[in-house]
Amino acid sequence: MRKLLSALLLAMVACGGSQATATSTTVVTTAAPATTEASGFPVTVETAIGPLTIAERPEAIVSLAPVATEMLAAVGALEQVIAVDDQSNYPTNVPVTDLSGFNPNIEAIASYQPDLVVISNDIDNMVASLQSLDIPVLLLPAAVTMDDVYTEIELLGIVTGHASEAEDLTEQMANEIESLVSDIEPPAEPVTYYHEIDPLLFSVTSTTFIGSIYSLFGMENIADAADPDGLGYPQLSAEHIIESDPDFIFLADTGFALQTPETVAARPGWAGMTAVTSGRVIPLDDDVASRWGPRVVDFVRAVAEAVALQPVG
């Protein structure tokens, strides 16, 4: 369950300035410049932190981010991965180690002799440290839009030698999301929702990546009012949530925080809420609802199914 941290990372990106995000959205994949070799290597790509050149197809990849691990698996590069961090839990057949992306130990990372390290957050100047050891680092910062997700997956495909699989994957994701969204009738009245990321009532606004998924369905976020500065992750007061009486409550804290529709109904003052009385408290997989990887499609599907099963009004 890395949801909280992913959220924090997203928050960092959100407030850490548009610079990082702008770079990541405009990643130009100048793939395989002067070679016509079958392998496609060497390859130079433009990343969030500048150009990255990979000389040969990497065969000893270390992933220090669960979302990167999911992307690597989805583009078919898993057999080149020799180690993933302690938070990577999907898919289940990944080589989990004690390595940490949050308290990175450069020596421990280097001891795997990786030819590519993939991270989602440059904690403790990891990039500079690894580069000084001549270890190539690919930074995949928290996505802000679906395009960021596709760009990151395609980038990962190019540097691992799975460019076409990555393209197929992003195309398939885009198609699935489009069909999931188009299958849902746009609501006549605006449908409101509250997305909970922990039981202390931290939420996301519609400016975040998570919020943008709900916006696909034209849903309105009750947390927006609580975030005038656009930081994206306000802590709401229970009074505001109950007074707003959202049509849907989505729980992205079902993992370690063990929240369920029943625990929500048992909270003081929540039992009479429309979402509670009409069965529209929707438990989500914390990881699926917080990682900007290939399983975003599952997140979109969960939201679509909720909306379709429980028409409002």
Interacting residues toward other proteins by CB under 8 A: 1-5, 8, 87, 100, 102-103, 198-202, 225-227, 234-240, 242-245, 256-258, 267-269, 271-273
Task: Give 162 or 195: the residue with its C-beta nearer to other proteins.
Answer: 195
- Angular region, 100: left φ>0, alpha ψ -120 to 50, beta rest: beta
Task: Give 122 or 198: the residue with its C-beta nearer to other proteins.
Answer: 198
Task: Give 55 or 200: the residue with its C-beta nearer to other proteins.
Answer: 200
**Distance of closest approach, residue 63 Cβ to other proteins, in angstroms:** 16
Q: How far apart are CA 179 and CA 170, in angstroms?
A: 14
Contact 60, 115 (CB under 8 A): yes
**Distance of closest approach, residue 2 Cβ to other proteins, in angstroms:** 7
CA 280 to chain centre: 24
Task: Give 22 or 225: the residue with its C-beta nearer to other proteins.
Answer: 225
CA 76, 82, 83, 89 torsion: positive or negative?
positive
CA 133 to chain centre: 29
Task: Give 37 or 239: the residue with its C-beta nearer to other proteins.
Answer: 239
Q: Determine how many CB atoms are found less than 10 A away from the CB of residue 16.
A: 13
CA 52 to chain centre: 22
**Distance of closest approach, residue 119 Cβ to other proteins, in angstroms:** 14
Q: How far apart are CA 53 and CA 137, in angstroms?
A: 10
Task: Give 181 or 242: the residue with its C-beta nearer to other proteins.
Answer: 242
**Distance of closest approach, residue 108 Cβ to other proteins, in angstroms:** 15
**Distance of closest approach, residue 89 Cβ to other proteins, in angstroms:** 11
Q: Determine how many CB atoms are found less than 10 A away from the CB of residue 31.
A: 16
Q: How far apart are CA 301 and CA 125, in angstroms?
A: 37
**Distance of closest approach, residue 235 Cβ to other proteins, in angstroms:** 5
